[in-house]
Every structure is written in structure tokens, then in C-alpha cells.
Amino acid sequence: MSPASGPRRRGRWILLGLLLAFGIAQAMPVERTNPPVEWDVDAPAEVAAILRSACYDCHSHETRWPWYSRVAPAAWIVARHVEHGRGDLNFSQWPRLDLEAQEHAFHDIEEQISHRKMPLRSYTWMHPEARLTEAQRQALLTWCNP
């Protein structure tokens, strides 16, 4: 046996193990649901369009689940982002919020947009249409401060 066959053989076993782990990971269920949309946020057309393109995938019941949301481990990351996003702010439930909760949501939106924390960079990397221009940021900020 040549000296190179040992590391080569080990490498094949490692590759086989990784492929097996990847295959098993695909069998793990990931919840990708879109509950029925009963309400929507009342916003001017320009703002509604911005919200749809930059926010709704994580912050509404109208999530567009891309192909990579069906492949682990990306599926786990996407599902967790949507779950957290909907938990923080869900535009599909906006009318259910009382005025105080809406005011709090406006404040949070303003803070996230002002500090460029949203949309997430990891999201805009895969969704360039969600990158906000300065004019779009200003439109959202104006909407948050009527």
C-alpha cells in the first residue's frame, strides 16, 4: 500500500460521511407555512410596495419560500428568520394591533430603518430587490411619523 492511499481512503470516508449527513438533514421537517391573510397593513401605495418587496417575506403571512428554503441547512435558517420576523412584527396582523401597539411598531420600524438594521444584509444579498434606496428609506420614515 502506498503512503498516499491512507489519507486518500480517509478522505473518501469523510466525504461519504458528509454526504450521508447532508442526506439525513434533508429528511428533517421544516415548517414553511403561510397562514391565511385576513388583514393587511393600511399604507399608501408607495409604502405598501416597499413593504412587500423588502419586508413581507419575513414579516407577513405572504412569505415567498425560495428554492433554498427547501434545502438543509439553509431551510433551517430561513424558517427561523421567518418565525422570528413574524414574531417581532407581522403586517398580516397589523389591524389587530391596538393604537398603542401600532405606535410601538412604528417606533421599532423607524429605529430599524434609521440604523439600517433592516432589511437584513443576509436577506438583501439573496434578494437585491429588497435593498432600500435613500428615497425608499425616507418614504418609510415619513410613514412611521405621520
**pLDDT tens-digit series, residues 94-112:** 888 899 999 999 999 999 9
Q: DSSP 3-state assignment of 28?
A: coil
**Domain residue ranges of the chain, discontinuous segments joined by +:** 1-30, 32-144
Distance between CA atoms of residues 110 and 131, nearest Å: 16
| CA 35 to chain centroid | 16
Q: Is 81 exposed, middle or buried (0-12, 13-18, 19+ CB in 10 A)?
A: middle
Summary mean pLDDT of the chain? 88
The answer to whether residues 141 and 110 touch, using CB atoms and an 8 Å cutoff, is yes
Question: Model pTM greater than 0.85?
Answer: no
Cell numbers 421567518: residue: 82
